[in-house]
Structure 1
Amino acid sequence: MLVRVLGPVRVGDRIETAVAPRGERPRDVLAVLVARRGRPVPAEVILDLVWGEAALGLTPATVHTVVSRLRRQLGEQLVVTTDAGYLVPSEAGIDADRFAASVRETSPGEDPASRAARLREALGEWWGDTAYSGVPDELVLAERVRLEELRRRARTELAEILVDSTDSEAVAEALTTSLELVAEHPLDESAAVLAMRAADRLQRPAEALEIYAGLQRRLRDELGVDPGPAAAGAHARLLAREPTSSVSAAGRRVPLGLRLPAPTSPVVGRESQTAEVVSLLTDGHRLVTITGIGGVGKSRLLVEVGAALTEATHPAEVTYVSLAGRDERDAQSLAAGIAMSWGLPVRSPANRQLAGHEAGHESGHESGHDAGDQVAGLVGALRSADTTVLVDEAEWALAPVAELAAAVLAGCPGIRLVVASRAPLGVVGERVFPLAPLAVPAPSAAVEAMRSAPAVRLLVARLADRGAAASDPAALSSTELTALAEVARRLDGLPLALELVAAHATTATLPDLPDLADRPLELHSREVGRDPRQQSLRSTLAWSVGRLRPQTREALAALAVFADPFTPVAARAVCGLDVASTSAALAELAAHHVVALDRAGDGLRFRLLHTVRDYALELLVTTGRLERVRHRHARWFAAVWRDSPLTDELVEHVGRTHHDHLVALEHLLAQRDADAAADVCLALGRRWLFVEAHGPGLRWTAEVLATPALCAQQWARLRILRAALAQQIDWSPDEHTLIAAALHDDPDWTCQLRLMSAIASYDGGEIAAARTHLDEGLDVARARAPHHVAELVATRAVVDAAEGLAEQALAGAREAQARTSVDSAQRASAVELLTVLPKVGVALLDAGRPQEAYDVLDAAARQAAERFGIAATATVAVNAGWAALATGRPDLASGWFARALVGPQAFVAPAAIGEAASGAGAALAGTRHPAAAELLGIGQWLLNASGSVLAPSLARHVAAAVEIAGSTPPPPSWSAELAFARVVQLVGKDRSEVRPQTARAQ
């Protein structure tokens, strides 16, 4: 798929064939301009981007020639010349826009048939399989990946609709589509689950099981992990209808008599993993490979497993071999070396026959290391053995170990292998046991949780070994524990890193250790007896990374720019590789545990440990690619949610990648790329609005708005975002007209403008103006932005209730509620729970239905927390407080108002704080609380100062409370900030009296 003038259609073909022989690149030039629509691009920049090193010797006249040809063939108005360069006007229509708009216009609240039709229409805009076909990646990579990812999501959503259809042909189409997605993205578990569902619905359970088996095989082979909960659950449901069987084997014991290494210190924090590995052997797994990054403790766990087996059975049943430093290149030499070290008289079958013919002669063929088949000889010597063999540091000879292990497993039924290796062997029947770093305490963990965290326990133990701390964590102060917990987090719980920090404790106090942890690559230990590769993290990482393919090392260096976990799609955009190369690099990095898998949910994401990121960043700087990769990173985060409405997926993704978005924003601002910076800021703003994080939003929107060369549409969007964050409009009527004009072709933000204007008019008591804004917004939403209809209808119901139109308000509230779900099986989204339902609650409250209002608001808060892990916003809390007050429960109301004022997402705008303070004062007045009068006075003072008025139903509660408790306004000299602080002080003085509660607690 490409824009209309570039794709595999007649116009694009005509351009390419007309000028390609002359070395001109119209397709590339036009792609650069289209990807930056509305922004002038200087001819010199176009030369550098399109021609690269070939631009030496060319002049801007080359670009002018190409532009002239484009104008002749595609129209004079396509490319405009400005003082700042060439540009394609922002209003130029392209098929990518139509595609993205069609996808955005689908809404979960729509009828499934309508949604499917919209998605088909969107997907019909594609020509071929690649966006910007024929254009080099470096020119359009972020846009290409964004559009292809949007297409993948659209195809997935269409398949999800079709799989639930009663039409078997639709289900068959869902199966075909999902299998195509699996083929394109082999590690996408959601696509595989969708394909399994479709196959099962078509009465093809064997095919569904095969789909799972393929997914499991790919995940194990490439990443060393098993499928996530969703895929495993679907598989379990299939197996409930399928018979299974298992086979076990037993053998005899042949003592080899080699001892385990004796640890010099007790193990800490690996008790459960030791038991798990032993359990795997007991359950019949004959090859268990403990994998993990260097320094994570694989060798130590291997020894602990051996000790546990020895204690449970007999010393002769456990044998140990270390391959450190051996680096054999083939299985034959490895087999010969192991046989020699074990003292086994190994002879290959051919040598045995020869020895038989020459019995009594000193021919030397009794040697265990001749030129025959040493693997077969070792297998023969162990054929009757009943032993668990522990193989340490197999990464030194990974391929030979794998070949030898396969032969031993096939020919020696009594042999069990436990292998420690940085990467899996890839042998049939192998059970990979990924060893993660030690668990660290959360930043907000209580003292007891810090004491019990395995990473902190190990750090304390190693500090005690050096006399730098008490051996019992209970003897440490909370300050010392906090410092050690911070060290553990900064080092990701990596045991080697913790031990290296502890080795420096003799020259630093415990509170100083976090500073050491900030420079983990600089830590070095000269302890006698420590492996040279583990005397520093730099040495350990260099050894691991040095064994990767060159392209994989380059990919790792590029991945260092990520601050948060990242998806394969994002990795591709930043590394600049194609899909296959990105997948291969990630698979190799994951197999060697240089990147870690992040299993938050069922999506496949990766992350770098802090120490690995530091090392990879050094690689990136050394290669001179830092700025180029940072720019790709920033362009990706600018593109990923460009022009997207507020959805659960956006909120979740931006929250999960919040640091990456901020890094991208800072980079784009430094580069003065105003419109791309605005794209990132708008995505962040959607999240900030959703969780009511007003402070950072106001700061960043101000900085982006101050950037020169911001196009009119982005300026208008940011003005609306900033007003929403500030909870007040700061533009004049003339500016309002300019904002509306800039958004004439942007239905999503036009609806946001109308909604924001309506709320501002409502807060100011201008009900008629609010109604006008809402009616205009609904006209646009119903025609072009259906995802806004529910919130606009709910807001209109609030306005109707304030105007005394109770029946009309109830009808609107019911309609908005109905639009939050298609049927009883599809519950409201997180966005609906925290944007639509709070307004429904206000409408019901003002329409005289306080208990119903409270039930809606309480349910919205509980579902947001239980289903999405999102705390109730201050808006939900204050509305629930008014509803509780109206139902005669002032104690319950106090808790909700307190949450709105001193909770994690407390109000910051004067009008909002004034309303919440008034509500808190009204709730406390019923209990004759001494703070009631002052809260009522400050609340009214803040409302007056901001020009806001309470709805009639709320004002009646406040008036009644004033009659009971009185009202004490602040001194005239007070500022709004001082009033804010006093409200927080009053509400937070005794949280036991005002802590948040729910109806269930009553």
Structure 2
Amino acid sequence: MDFQVLGSITIRTGGRTFAVGEPRQQHILAVLLLEAGRTVGHDSLVTRVWGESPPKQVRRSLQAHITRIRRVLEQADPGSAWLVRDAGGYRLDVRPDQVDVFRFRNAVRDESTDRAALTEALDLWRGEPLAGLSGEWADRTRRTLSQEHEAAVVAWAAAEIRAGQAAATVIRLTELVEEHPLHEGAAVVLMRALYAVGRTADSLAVHERIRRALRDELGVDPGPELAAVHEAVLRHDLPPGEQTAPAQLPAAVTEFTGRAGEITELDRLADRVGDESLIICLTGTAGAGKTATVVHWGHRVRDRFPDGQLYLDLRGYAPEEPVSPGDALGAFLTALMPGGAEVPLGETERAARFRTELDGRRMLVVLDNAVSVEQVRMLLPGAGGCAVVVTSRDALTGLVALHGAHRVTVDQLPLADAVTLLGRLVGPRVDAEPESAAVLAERCVRLPLTLRLAAELAVSRPAVPLSRLADELRAAQQTLDVLSGGDDQRAAIRAVFSWSLRQLSDQAVAAFAALGRHPAPTFDAHVLAALAGQPLATARTLLNTLARAHLVQPAGVDRYLMHDLLKAYATEAGSVDERSALDRVYAYYLAAVAAAMDRLYPGEAHRRPQVAAAASPVPGFPGADDARDWLDAELATISALAAHAATHGRPESSVALSRLLFRYLDGRNETVAISIHGHARTAAHATGDRAGEATALHSLGGVHLQAGRADAAVAHLSAAATLFKEIGDLSSQGRAVAGVGMVEERAGRYRPAIDHYTRALALFRHDTDLVAQAHVLTRLGTVEARIGHAAAVTNLDHAMALHRQAGHPFGQAWAKLGLAEVALTRDHLGDALTLHNEAVELFRTLGHLESEAWSIDGLGRTHTLSGHPDRAAEHHRRALDLFVARGDRDGETWALNGLGEACLAGGDPASARANHTTALDLAVRIGAREQAARAHHGLARVAVEAGDLPAAHRHYDRATAIYRDLTLPTADAIRKELAELG
């Protein structure tokens, strides 16, 4: 039988609910339930139910109510004596776990960070506790219970946010904050939740409301926790964007067998995770299944790490280049900071940010295939709560000695486990020939990798006894022992590999050997076709054959990878002209990338290098989406190829990949863009390719411009312009000069921007590059529109004509945005709306999200001016999400200011203030002075709305000073507002 007090007072048993009766009986039962199992004296019971002045016949009334309660209890559970009369009072003979309030308290007290337990505890609440009861005791108890409920909601919400489920908390937290406007703890968590789902302005509005409430009602300022989260939101120091916890562990291997001792030891060590992080070195021989063990264990204990799992193959023993600490940190930070938060450039800065991101999280970090302590030292967390498992063939003594790591060794499987694994993979034949199976396991050195290869061979030859297979393997090993002159375990492993290959066709062996030369971790049939010089259909068949033989492993849809031991063996398994194979695979990638870029950006084909047709087949790209999807899927591989080319005698390929991808990388993964363009710059400089170096510098400048690093952008773009001038490439020099103009434009320095754009056009004077001229004319006309120059329309119309002539829809969309700016300045709102919508559709078709964000932001400004602030706010929020996702800090300031203006127009000055405050902070940090002035202007209007004229004048003065310094006409509009204000 269960009892409920967290709502109306009821009894439940056997799926039925029993009403207790009239309120006085409910009151008595509630008192007894909250003292479950303890005697409540007559006087105490009377006082709690009737108060300090009970009626004269209260004893008789109490007895009558007790009798009626007993009848209900008897009806619910016939034959039981629940309500007991003791000397001096009454006792309800129930256990605390039968009463919902005690189950709630136990869950909250014992599992305060457990999402499931907190959810279950909150589900016990069926409304207002002690519903329908009145009196001093009931009111006091209800207040206490409500406070416990509020604390549980806050704890539950914090746990959900840590798990990446912030959206699920917003409604409940909002209701709590509205009901308790002075509850700082609830406000803190609500601010975190709103920020996590991308509603930065709403998060700051919560702070503004509680700040005012605390000042007006209590005369105090927000406490340190509330002040800290406010500061973090302003500085974007909280993880941006709603996120699920990273879950990067690969799929566990099928039929995982054994390792019970190692798993038990990992469990024991994991129990130590607390104030300090745990570091485990999982070491052992190649092929022993270190990765399989940690992945299997990681999936088992994922609930211990509610903030997720990070995984990275460091490729320490692979033929490809090992992953550098800086690249590893970049990959982890990208996973930890989805939504476009800026990944620092320097390795040291990345390591510091990585430690910051892990602080306070409970995560599992798997660093697979490390080659040395130096490779992983910068990847270790600084605070407690995380477990780091490093797998390596090296003993990693430095991690143990200097960082307190615990070593767990993974060696050969015990014979019984090895035979069990064979049995699971081969089937009943192992039970039928146990002695031969044991011999076969020993011949496979009891390593999971070789056992799986042997098992696949046995399955492919079902009529051959295991004893014969064991003899064949023994003969192969004896031959290899003679050739190698020893009984090294590696020789035995190589014997298993060679034995497996002997069962394949010569063509499959040649394909296996060719894959050993692939300079990137993953591959597909197109890559094998290029490496092996085979038709695509043949390559697909060969890959299927190698996968069935467990010589390659699936790594996604139609993609594969190869164990590093097998890849190393593949390089000696067959005769391959490595130079020719690599020539073909680089030719394939260059041709495929060029084809994808031609499909996405046909109007800029002339700016990309000419690429020879590949000898092997290239994917077809029927539409822009197909091209973009392929590039997205291949980006990591292309980045690895660019790095390999730069350091392995193929500098021209590294430079070509950078030049081909410049537009695709614009506004995309900043870390990868810097890597690809950076390798190109290094390669070009080393070979004296000044044109290639200048182009890479130009591309790097664009990446820094996108990220709001104005100084770095100007440095790279200026260096590029100098190099282009020295080699006589005036057109490219013009593009670099125009890039500096973009830096000036984003800072709001429109007249210097016009000077740079005009200089760029002069450099294009004798050039046939229509798109380059059109791009600069677009920027020039847009800037002129913003400051009211009459030439804006002429330049934008000219740009549109050139873009159309070149068949360049991307440029046409930007020209439409410029013309929309003109329409806004002339109050032609219908035209502005049409142009912005057309630009949105074009950018969406091209998949260029950053540009789409600018057009959506323009739609928001148009709707605000048209008197539709709610619709405007929706557009600005969408633009803000896209800008954050692409890392466009300048765009963020525009969207935030636009959202502030929409909120004020819609009657929400608190949200307007929050948005403009965030915009101001960001604009100051990135040097976007016009948007800083716009934020001050917005804050001045909010202050006027609030009647705070001193604050209004301060913001008006600051806005006017900036606009005047930038020589922008907005200063005149502000002077008119000030005149009206008086």
Same fold (TM over 0.5): no
The normalised TM-score by structure 1 is: 0.38
The normalised TM-score by structure 2 is: 0.38
